[in-house]
């Protein structure tokens, strides 16, 4: 309380009160009043293979058995663990799988870029990859650090660095696919302003903002270069190649390169907002798209099932920072669902048990 000129003035030391109707964009979460038919889909219509998942490399039997129970609820028949590493850890992980649930899990090997400058690195990497496949690895997973963060004494190691060519060729010789994640969504390279669709994600995770050099186009062109040059190797370009919002361009690239496959991990929101065209596109490229989720969160698969299987309208995606918009179901035909859910993976990943799936 302040007394001045005979007047008593009350000073309130409370937080300022926002005017009615004011809030931040993060706070705004409207509840839809739309009443339309809706389906709750907690189990896939057909058994499926998740081609893009990450689990600890050396899971003990109790965790493997726990995962099997969770997978059964979803109708997931096979989980592909892309975090296989290499050498002894990979072998231990595969041995645990063989002893516990050999038909339910698959491991992909990874590369170790340590010492890439040293003489003989390429030959050693190829030998290690060959040994990993002999030990049971069914493919090779390349993480996004290649192209963006891996460096040698001269600086950034490009995804299409010639030192890696013998590895891509070896994968084709061994008959195993390469699942390759390059770059980040193009919005992470764009100005972080009011026009950026991933503004909220960058607000929550500002470290994901990428410099403009190398650009998104540069990074992805390096991936497409190795796919184009290594026609005898099947490549699965992760996350719809970050082109879920430009399916015509993705289709053109796949038309050019018959060894180019892709998967749906963490990009379902792009398909769910363009249901009519996405359905047409998936029907056209039904032989080239695989089911994938990326992070392990069983309840989030329910949204995948609903988008792919139903014709529901205007429902929530599971992660607001990926999509402030609503989802619409594509209602894919059964023969297309079967290819995305399991037939395409059975064709390009060796050693899977086809008898566990419908014809």
Q: Which region among 25-34, 230-239, 337-346 has the lowest average model confidence (pLDDT)?
A: 25-34
User: For residue range 169-197, what is the model confidence (pLDDT) as tens digits?
Assistant: 999 999 999 999 999 999 999 999 999 99
Residue 331: predicted pLDDT: 98
Which tops the pLDDT comparison, 10 or 247?
A: 247
pTM above 0.85, yes or no: yes
The angle that helices 247-256 and 275-284 make with each other, rounded to 10 degrees, is: 10
Q: What is the mean pLDDT of residues 294-300?
A: 97
Answer yes or no: is 12 within a domain: no
Residue 20: predicted pLDDT: 65
User: For residue range 195-218, what is the model confidence (pLDDT) as tens digits?
Assistant: 999 999 999 999 999 999 999 999
Mean pLDDT of the chain: 94
Q: Is 308 a residue whose pLDDT tops 50? A: yes
CB 287 within 8 A of CB 261: no
Domain count, the chain: 1
Q: Is 7 a residue whose pLDDT tops 90? A: no
Report which of 237, 298, 350 is spatially closest to residue 55, judged by C-alpha positions: 298
Q: How confident is the model at residue 16 (pLDDT cuts 50, 70, 90)?
A: low
Answer yes or no: is 330 within a domain: no
Report which of 165, 183, 261 is spatially closest to residue 220, judged by C-alpha positions: 183
Q: Is 43 a residue whose pLDDT tops 90? A: yes
Q: What region, left, alpha or beta, does residue 276 occupy, with left being phi > 0 and alpha being psi -120 to 50 degrees?
A: alpha
- How far from chain centre, in Å, is Cα 349? 17
Answer yes or no: is 1 within a domain: no
Q: What is the mean pLDDT of residues 217-237?
A: 98
Answer yes or no: is 7 within a domain: no
d(CA 182, CA 216) in angstroms, rounded, equals 9
Structural domain harbouring 224: 47-298+339-350
Strand partners, 110: 141
Residue 94: predicted pLDDT: 98
Answer yes or no: is 6 within a domain: no
- CB neighbour list of residue 181: distance below 8 Å, 6 or more residues apart: 141, 142, 143, 144, 238, 239
Answer yes or no: is 17 within a domain: no
E-strand stretches of 15-124: 48-53, 76-81, 105-107, 109-110
Q: What are phi and psi of 263, to 5 degrees?
A: -150, 170
Residue 6: predicted pLDDT: 47
Q: What is the mean pLDDT of residues 10-29?
A: 68
User: For residue range 117-148, what is the model confidence (pLDDT) as tens digits?
Assistant: 999 999 999 999 999 999 999 999 999 999 99
Q: What are phi and psi of 47, to 5 degrees?
A: -60, 145
Q: What are the CA-CA distances from residue 131 to residues 90, 98, 121, 137, 338 (Å)?
A: 10, 17, 15, 9, 33
Q: How confident is the model at residue 165 (pLDDT cuts 50, 70, 90)?
A: very high
CATH number of the domain that 142 lies in?
3.20.20.140
Q: How confident is the model at residue 8 (pLDDT cuts 50, 70, 90)?
A: very low
d(CA 125, CA 107) in angstroms, rounded, equals 18
Answer yes or no: is 327 within a domain: no
Length of the chain: 359
Answer yes or no: is 150 within a domain: yes
Residue 153: predicted pLDDT: 96
β-pairing, 109-110 with 140-142? Answer: parallel
């Amino acid at each position: 309380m302040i007394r001045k000129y005979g007047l008593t003035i009350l000073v309130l030391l409370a937080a300022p009160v926002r005017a009615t109707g004011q809030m931040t964009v993060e706070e705004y979460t409207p509840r839809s009043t739309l009443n339309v038919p809706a389906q709750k889909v907690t189990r896939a219509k057909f058994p499926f293979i998740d081609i893009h998942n990450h689990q600890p490399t050396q899971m003990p039997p109790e965790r493997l058995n726990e995962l099997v129970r969770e997978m059964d609820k979803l109708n997931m028949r096979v989980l592909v663990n892309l975090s296989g590493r290499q050498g002894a850890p990979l072998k231990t992980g595969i041995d645990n799988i063989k002893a516990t649930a050999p038909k339910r899990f698959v491991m992909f090997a990874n590369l170790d870029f340590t010492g890439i400058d040293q003489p003989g690195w390429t030959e050693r990497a190829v030998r290690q990859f060959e040994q990993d496949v002999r030990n049971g690895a069914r493919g090779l997973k390349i993480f996004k650090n290649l192209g963006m963060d891996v460096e040698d004494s001269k600086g950034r190691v490009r995804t299409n660095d010639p030192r890696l060519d013998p590895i891509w060729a070896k994968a084709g010789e061994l008959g195993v696919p390469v699942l390759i994640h390059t770059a980040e969504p193009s919005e992470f390279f764009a100005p972080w302003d009011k026009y950026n669709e991933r503004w909220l994600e960058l607000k929550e995770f500002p470290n994901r903002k990428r410099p403009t050099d190398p650009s998104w186009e540069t990074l992805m062109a390096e991936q497409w270069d190795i796919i184009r040059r290594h026609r005898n190797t099947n490549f699965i370009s992760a996350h719809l190649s970050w082109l879920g919002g430009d399916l015509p361009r993705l289709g053109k690239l796949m038309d050019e390169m018959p060894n180019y496959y892709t998967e749906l991990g963490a990009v379902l929101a792009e398909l769910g907002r363009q249901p009519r065209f996405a359905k047409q596109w998936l029907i056209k490229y039904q032989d080239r798209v695989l089911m994938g989720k990326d992070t392990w969160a069983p309840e989030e698969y329910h949204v995948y099932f609903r988008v792919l299987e139903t014709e529901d309208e205007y429902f929530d995606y599971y992660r607001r920072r990926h999509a402030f918009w609503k989802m619409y179901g594509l209602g894919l035909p059964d023969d297309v669902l079967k290819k995305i859910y399991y037939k395409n993976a059975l064709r390009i990943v060796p050693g899977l048990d086809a008898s566990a799936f419908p014809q």
